[in-house]
Amino acid sequence: MPSRETSSSASVRVWLPKLTKFEKARVIGARALQLTMGARPLIDVSKLPSKDFVFIARQELLRGVLPFTIVRRLPNGLRELVPVSHLIEAEKRIFGEVSL
């Protein structure tokens, strides 16, 4: 049975309104690799206490500026495409903070 894709927007209900610890690790690792390979940071790093690529990637994730999309496979076979910034905003709204 072919799977249909759903796109995420403010009106679409997301299966889990936060990033799992595995998704956080994957996003931070992928972004740190991009920074290592020469990608420009999406935040001002001059005021950060550390210039470590993983630290910069964590700060970008916490601020919700990463242009990544999480693809989640749901139990019914559908795939859910959710922007990371949407999940970070939802986690801040529901839990008050984002834990890493």
For 13, the token pair is: 């209900």
| β-bridge pairing 69-73 and 5-7 | unpaired
Total tally of structural domains belonging to the chain: 1
100 within a domain of the structure (yes/no): no
Residue pLDDT tens, the chain, 100 long: 444 554 444 445 667 788 999 999 999 999 999 999 999 999 999 999 999 999 999 999 999 999 999 998 988 888 989 999 999 998 889 888 888 7
**CATH label of the domain that carries residue 79:** 3.90.940.10
Domain membership of residue 30 as a residue range: 5-9+17-95
59 within a domain of the structure (yes/no): yes
SS in 3 state form for 14-48? CCCCCCCHHHHHHHHHHHHHHHHCCCCCCCCCCCC
Residues 6+ positions from 50 with CB-CB distance below 8 Å: 56
For position 4, what pLDDT does the model report?
52
Q: What is the pTM of this model?
A: 0.81
